[in-house]
Amino acid sequence: MKIYLTMATEMINHVHIEVIRKGADLGDLTIGVYSDSILERLGRVPYMTESERMSVFRAISGVKDVVLEDDFHFTKNLQTIKPDIVIRGSKHTATDKKIQETISAWGGKILEIPFTKGVVVDEFFRKISKQGYLPEVRRRKLNYYFKNKPLIRIIEAHNGITGLIAEKTAITTNGRTKTFHGMWVSSLCDSTAKGKPDIELVDHSSRLATIQEILDVTTKPIILDGDSGGLTEHFVHNIKSIERAGVSAIIIEDKIGLKKNSLFGDVGQNQDDIKSFCEKITAGKKARSSQDFSIIARIESLILNKGQEDAIERAKAYIQAGADGIMIHSAKTSPNEIFEFCDEYVKFGNVPLVAVPSTYNTVTEDELEKRGVKVVIYANHLIRSAFPAMLKTARLILENGRSAEADELCMPIKEILTLIPE
């Protein structure tokens, strides 16, 4: 008799062993170890690699064979193995029904053992997700994404509530759940939320307070907009505090002097020379204590009309200096100059490429991914969408001498009271 059992777990406990023993007692047991992509779709970041997980199951006595399971419905593996029995935690879900359909072709049956309800399993995952907010776990997540995701989707957060939106917003289409992978703490949005201009006026302690607010209520990685990084002598100290706080990566831009927001375009700002910006990157890399903390270099050549050649020369130099990623920015409404850069970058760029499609926002994630972009940042959209609604509400109250006319723009009081659970 051939038996098939799939395993998602990374921590084997007595409940799993009991089920494996039951399977092995029935016949030749093959274990299908869930692939990374299936685990991610279940909302988990794997700790071990696929082959490590497979080798653990291979070592358990009674297990005849171990295969990788990369399909929610197991169709390919089932058709190859043709098991008489598939062990499942239930036989009533849509997935179970699809499995039963496949194995009926040779008279196979589902054996229901409700092992996934094991207290220990639930407790383990509760503990793991509780640890999600710890700096190292958060950093590891971003690095895992760098290595394993075709595209990383980041949205800005500038306080606790926007952090929660970035953390929890999800849509499901055709069984696939789509979420944001992390948060961008933008200098523009952090400054705007404080009513200040985006000119490196909001100081490090204040930026750190914003970061802490977001870290308090989220588990996803934070990429910090580090502006120019300031003086190298200051940068090496600031790196330590943001790293300790739990930031996963910082992006610093190669501007000097009074920094203005890049979306103004070329408004007479100065670009650092390659050598001194490289020294800043290298000093930052030396100052960090975690290998998982990334320092990403942002190139402003296209913003400042210095041309593609300058941008490419800088990308090469910054990577040489130790940059863990490159961000290329543009204030054009068409993505063409970004595409041109990408086409050259993919020939040598061996670190993730970051794009911020704020002005060239008709471009899709798929198009950017095809050109070699790894990280897409939606850099200012939560504050930009909140502001018009707030302004309109304030005006409606003034115009009407009451608030009823603003109801449509406002979340019902009942909902706001329960929005954040106690």
The residue from 198, 225, 227, 272 that is catalytic is 198
Q: Residue 316 or residue 381: which is nearer to ligand SPV going by CB?
A: 381
Considering the rule CB under 5 A, would residue 187 count as an interface residue with Mg ion? Answer: yes
CB of residue 227 to Mg ion, shortest distance in Å: 6
Chain position whose Cβ is nearest to ligand SPV: 186
- Dihedral, CA of residue 113, residue 119, residue 124 and residue 129, to nearest 10: 100
Which of positions 189-228 make contact with ligand SPV (CB under 6 A)? Answer: 198, 225
- Dihedral, CA of residue 7, residue 10, residue 11 and residue 15, to nearest 10: -10
Strand partners, 136: none
Interaction pattern, residues 247-266, with ligand SPV; x per rule: CB under 6 A: --------------xxx---
Considering the rule CB under 6 A, would residue 186 count as an interface residue with ligand SPV? Answer: yes
CA distances from 198 to 118, 191, 300, 355 (A): 52, 6, 16, 20
CB of residue 246 to Mg ion, shortest distance in Å: 20
- Choose one: 8-16, 99-107, 185-193, 270-278; the region binding Mg ion (CB under 5 A): 185-193
CB of residue 251 to ligand SPV, shortest distance in Å: 8
CB of residue 135 to ligand SPV, shortest distance in Å: 23
Number of chain positions touching ligand SPV (CB under 6 A):
12
Q: Residue 24 or residue 263: which is nearer to ligand SPV going by CB?
A: 263
Neighbour order of strands in the sheet with 28-34: 63-69, 28-34, 2-7, 85-88, 109-112
Considering the rule CB under 6 A, would residue 188 count as an interface residue with ligand SPV? Answer: yes
CB of residue 315 to ligand SPV, shortest distance in Å: 18
Alpha carbons 123 and 49: distance in angstroms, whole number: 22
- Pair 299, 327: CB distance under 8 Å: yes
Q: Residue 10 or residue 225: which is nearer to Mg ion going by CB?
A: 225
Q: Which does 6 bind (CB under 5 to 8 A by kind): ligand SPV, Mg ion, none?
A: none
Q: Residue 103 or residue 183: which is nearer to ligand SPV going by CB?
A: 183
Which of positions 7-36 make contact with ligand SPV (CB under 6 A)? Answer: none
Q: Residue 281 or residue 379: which is nearer to ligand SPV going by CB?
A: 379
Reading the block at residue 375, the tokens are 């990280």
Interaction pattern, residues 210-249, with Mg ion; x per rule: CB under 5 A: ---------------x------------------------
Alpha carbons 358 and 392: distance in angstroms, whole number: 23
Radius of gyration, alpha carbons of the chain: 25
CA distances from 331 to 18, 215, 264, 337, 388 (A): 60, 30, 8, 10, 22
Active site (annotated) includes residue 198: yes
CA distances from 262 to 60, 91, 303, 305, 318 (A): 57, 56, 7, 12, 20
- Choose one: 8-16, 90-98, 123-131, 186-194; the region binding ligand SPV (CB under 6 A): 186-194
What helix, strand, coil percent values describe the chain, rounded to 5? 45, 20, 35
Interaction pattern, residues 377-416, with ligand SPV; x per rule: CB under 6 A: --xx------------------------------------
CB of residue 363 to Mg ion, shortest distance in Å: 20
Alpha carbons 200 and 225: distance in angstroms, whole number: 11
State the amino acid at position 325 in one-letter form.
G
- Pair 8, 125: CB distance under 8 Å: no
Reading the block at residue 146, the tokens are 């760098």
CB of residue 189 to Mg ion, shortest distance in Å: 8
Strand partners, 2: 28
Considering the rule CB under 6 A, would residue 356 count as an interface residue with ligand SPV? Answer: yes
Considering the rule CB under 5 A, would residue 272 count as an interface residue with Mg ion? Answer: no
Report the interface residues with ligand SPV, using CB under 6 A: 186-188, 198, 225, 261-263, 356, 358, 379-380
Q: Active-site residues: which are they?
A: 198
